[in-house]
Structure 1
Amino acid sequence: MKNVHKLTEGAILLAAYTIMLLITIYVPILGAVVNLFLSLPFIMFAAKHNRQSSIVFMVAATLLSLIVGTFFAIPLTLAYGLTGIVMGDFVRNQKGRAAVFLAGSITFLLNLVIQYAVAVAFFKMDFIQQSIDLVRESVDQSMGMLEMLGQEPNTVLLEQLNAGIDLLQSLIPSIFVVISLATVFLIQLVSFPIVKRFGVKIGEWSSFRDLTLPKSLLYYFIFALLASFFIQTENGGYFHLALTNILFVLQLLMVVQGLSFIWYFNHSRGWSKALPIIITVMVFVMPFLLYIVWILGIIDLGFDLRKRLLK
């Protein structure tokens, strides 16, 4: 009876996944929303059954996606399926919510990097480089139109645009990390309430205001910042790319620390919960606020502002 129940549950979840996959592929607007639920069947199955059964479920989903979808459905299944299996396995073993999030993010990131490498190496499809080339062509065409209209292009602006494009190209690894973290966060946000409805026990997040990053990150950040000032690196070289991406990730973590302090300070003063929400939204809309929060995060991590507030 147990095997029959497992097979029945697996068949229902596979059918649900197939429907969501078809909507994701063939219905553009609705598919963008349904896309976030693709990991849900895998999380539910892996949270209730052992790893061997989960692997069989994953293989069945891959074969099914190849049959009902197209060849391009396989990368979707591998990315969201493996991420869901890992997250569900961590849930089944009663790991903390943060551990589930981290494991899912790493799995999704590895899928993203491997699939990108395969697309470039075997199919000669470098969509990132093609997008960057398209942006450069658009800039060149805009400058050409200005010249045709008899206006002199702003060389300073052109240099800034090209520098921005070069920086974007250098930050591709960090962008992959951010995409993975954001995607898994959204997957948890939409999937876990549904998983709970089916009787699966999932740990709760600790409050964001209590988040404090390891103090060692501050030393890494200072070291990387000093290295960027005093060590001359070749633009596009390995060391330049590594240093640029390390700085980007560490700066992003300092911003998170700063936002966490703002939420903590607001809670300690008993102010309205709407205030930190508004500030968080404004930080990503108004760039100058981003630097203020970034500095606040550094001060909080370096000088223990929260302990000083308690005193």
Structure 2
Amino acid sequence: MNQSKKLTDGALLTSIFIVLLLVTFFVPFTSIFLTFVLPVPFIIFTARHDWKPSLVMLTAAIIISSLFATIFSLPITVMSGLGGMMIGTAIKRGFTAYETWARGTVGFVAGILFALLFTQVLFDVNIIDETNLMIDESVQMSRAMMEQFGLEEELLDEQFTLIEQQLEMFIDLLPMLIVMMALVQALISQWVGYKVMNRIEGRKLRFPKFHQLQFPVAIIWIYFLALIITLFQPDPEGILFIALQNVLMLAGFFMVIQGFSFIFFYAHYKKMSKALPIIVIIITLIFSILLLPLVRILGIIDIGFGLRERMKKKE
């Protein structure tokens, strides 16, 4: 009976995935939304039957999608499958929503890396080289336009040197950007998966309130360790420097999220209007250069010194 249930669920959910994939490929403007829905069949199946039967489902989805949506569908199928399986496995084992999110992020990172490798091998297209080429062409085109307005060549050299350095830093931060993309993909797909499973299975899966978010203290140690190593001025062209910049940016992002979470916690704790923290976030994003570092410091204090627990004890 259990085996029959697996086969029925696998066939049904694989069919749903293939239909969603075909709509994504052949119906304009749907890919923006359906990209976050594609992992849901894998989430549901893995949450019901664990990861080993899900590997069979993923294999079947790869074969069928390659036949109906061509080989170009392989990267998105693998990414959806890996991310969905990681989220579903975490749900199966009863992990918290944020632990599930972290595992889903790992799955989507693996899927994105597979997509980049697939592009490199099949089409002989190196994303980094192509991006560098595009940047060079854009800079040269912009410089030519500026020269037509009669600007001094020395001033142009200084400005475009600075622009090129900033764009090169963007390339160096590609690993961090991949993780950020995976974070967003995992968050939205997990949220959609929760809604669908709650509806069809009567579960009560949900994310805790944002003001309850608490990242582990280890993030602070990682952040400060990377910060200390940068004081020894590693080679800006070396792999160590690039890795440190990615770690600092990613850890700093988590500190900012923690800081925003504390603002929501403080408003909830003091029974203030829910609109107040939202207004604070909007103002912070508008004046991000001035205010984001302060929010990051607030997040560091909240994690490192247990600010919330101290407030509760004082009460």
Say whether the fold is shared (TM-score over 0.5): yes
Contact 1:13–1:41, Cα closer than 8 Å, also in 2: yes
Contact 1:91–1:202, Cα closer than 8 Å, also in 2: no
Structure 1 range deviating more: 167-176 or 153-162:
153-162
Change (3 A) 1:110 1:267: same
| Cα deviation digits, residues 14-65 of structure 1 (max 9, x gap) | 2221111011112231221112110111111222224443222111111110
- Structure 1, gaps ≥5 residues long: none
Contact 1:96–1:203, Cα closer than 8 Å, also in 2: no
Name the TM-score, length of structure 1 as normaliser.
0.90
**How far apart in 2 are the matches of 1:282 and 1:139?**
33
Q: 1:184 aligns with which of 179, 183, 186?
A: 186
Contact 2:37–2:189, Cα closer than 8 Å, also in 1: yes
**How far apart in 1 are the matches of 2:284 and 2:44?**
36
Contact 2:198–2:205, Cα closer than 8 Å, also in 1: no
**How far apart in 2 are the matches of 1:97 and 1:57?**
24
Counterpart in the other structure of 1:166: 168
Contact 1:24–1:35, Cα closer than 8 Å, also in 2: yes
Q: How does 1:1-311 map to 2 (within 5 A)?
A: 2-121=2-121, 123-152=123-152, 153-199=155-201, 201=203, 203-228=205-230, 230-288=231-289, 289-310=291-312, 311=314
Structure 1 range deviating more: 100-109 or 114-123:
114-123
1:87 deviates by: 1.8
Change (3 A) 1:202 1:238: farther
1:184 deviates by: 0.3
| Cα deviation digits, residues 203-241 of structure 1 (max 9, x gap) | 43333222333334334323322332x322222211111
**How far apart in 2 are the matches of 1:93 and 1:302?**
29
**How far apart in 2 are the matches of 1:220 and 1:35?**
32
Contact 1:258–1:293, Cα closer than 8 Å, also in 2: yes
Name the TM-score, length of structure 2 as normaliser.
0.89
**How far apart in 1 are the matches of 2:147 and 2:7?**
68
| Cα deviation digits, residues 170-201 of structure 1 (max 9, x gap) | 11111111111111001012221011111163
1:122 deviates by: 5.5
Contact 1:87–1:100, Cα closer than 8 Å, also in 2: yes
Structure 1 range deviating more: 212-221 or 180-189:
212-221
| Cα deviation digits, residues 54-107 of structure 1 (max 9, x gap) | 222111111110111011101111110122122222222323222221211111
- Structure 2, gaps ≥5 residues long: none
RMSD: 2.2
Find runs of 4+ consecutive structure 1 residues off by over 6 angstroms: none
Q: How many residues align?
A: 310
Contact 2:76–2:115, Cα closer than 8 Å, also in 1: no
**How far apart in 2 are the matches of 1:52 and 1:223?**
38
* Percent of aligned positions that are identical: 30
Structure 1 range deviating more: 230-239 or 76-85:
230-239
**How far apart in 1 are the matches of 2:202 and 2:176?**
34
Contact 1:43–1:87, Cα closer than 8 Å, also in 2: yes
Change (3 A) 1:29 1:155: same
Contact 1:47–1:200, Cα closer than 8 Å, also in 2: no
Contact 1:20–1:35, Cα closer than 8 Å, also in 2: no
**How far apart in 1 are the matches of 2:180 and 2:15?**
31
Structure 1 range deviating more: 249-258 or 156-165:
156-165
Contact 1:258–1:297, Cα closer than 8 Å, also in 2: yes
Contact 2:86–2:107, Cα closer than 8 Å, also in 1: yes
Letter in 2 for 1:277: I
**How far apart in 1 are the matches of 2:180 and 2:253?**
9
Matched position secondary structure for 2:246: helix
Structure 1 range deviating more: 123-132 or 58-67:
123-132
| Cα deviation digits, residues 230-262 of structure 1 (max 9, x gap) | 322222211111111111112112112211111
